[in-house]
Amino acid sequence: MDMRRATLAGRFYPGEPASLKEQLDYFFSRVALPHPVDACGIVSPHAGTTYSGQVAAYSYSAVPENFEGTFIVIAPSHAGYPDCTSGLAWETPLGVIECDVDLVSEIDIRRDDYAHALAENSLEVQMPFIKYRFPGAKVVPVLMGRQTPSAAKNMADGIVRALRDSSSEVRVVASSDFSHYIPDSEARRLDAYAIEAVLKLDSEEFFRIIKEEGISACGYGPITVMIDICRELFGAEKGEMLKYMTSGDVSGDFDQVVGYAAIAVF
């Protein structure tokens, strides 16, 4: 089987299966949602799991654990590759995640297995959470290059067209951290402002706030794509903040933090 190897195991998350499972057991055991949630889309962070793993566990807890469909994981290309998808299965320390190759072939996004084979935490860090909670699920990984309103609209429209003709049951993951390397109080203020637009599913307002305020969220394009897909395909009406933390909550260093948010859309 052609496979995308786990390039960041032992660095961004534990590489030994028992250690990874123990860490994820801990994170998911501490999730306390105020009410049952069945989200069509989520925002999940992608930093090292020591820092953002608790928030990611909240994100994935918004999807019932018996889900066995396909996660479309849309993530920013930190290396600057153009929009592309891949048909490779994904290796994780907990086992292999199959790729929904039929859906990959239906989505009008260029396939580039080479770009996806390189170390990219925005995609890879999502995979252990998916394999742990949804062992029967498949994935369609999407790297997003240009994060502009027009690029986001084109990607969302293309994915919606493919899904209308597809038999795959899907959930959409937008992979993103929020503010980077600013004081904790400033990160919380700016991130709350941007997240308010996400909760209203107002992608245009979200883009405006990101640009005007100079908010250093790295996956604002994928978040916009996820919002537009969920509104158009699922009739989503709102978002809900499930958890927000900064790296300072773990490290104790509140001078230069990264913000992480778990958001469910339904």
SS3 at position 254: coil
Residue 1: its pLDDT value, please?
65
21 burial type by CB count under 10 A (0-12 exposed, 13-18 middle, 19+ buried): middle
From CA 50, how far away is CA 60, in angstroms rounded? 16
Please give the tally of structural domains in the chain. 1
From CA 10, how far away is CA 118, in angstroms rounded? 16
| pLDDT values of the chain reduced to their tens digit, one per residue, 266 residues | 689 999 999 999 999 999 999 999 999 999 999 999 999 999 999 999 999 999 999 999 999 999 999 999 999 999 999 999 999 999 999 999 999 999 999 999 999 999 999 999 999 999 999 999 999 999 999 999 999 999 999 999 999 999 999 999 999 999 999 999 999 999 999 999 999 999 999 999 999 999 999 999 999 999 999 999 999 999 999 999 999 999 999 999 999 999 999 999 99
Secondary structure element (H or E) that encloses residue 187, with its range = helix 184-199
Which of 89, 76, 97 is closest to 175 using CA atoms?
A: 76
Going by the DSSP 8-state scheme, the letter that residue 99 receives in this structure is B
Supply the range of the domain harboring residue 54: 3-265
Contact indicator for 178, 206 with CB cutoff of 8 Å:
no
Phi, psi of 138 (to 5 degrees): -115, 170
Give me the CATH number covering residue 128. 3.40.830.10
Residue 2: its pLDDT value, please?
84
Residue 4: its pLDDT value, please?
97
pTM listed for this prediction = 0.98
Residue 104: its pLDDT value, please?
97
Which of 127, 107, 209, 211 is closest to 175 using CA atoms?
A: 127
Q: Where are the beta strands (DSSP E) in the chain?
A: 3-4, 41-44, 70-76, 84-85, 89-92, 95-97, 138-144, 170-175, 180-182, 239-246, 257-265
Structure tokens at 68: 């066995």
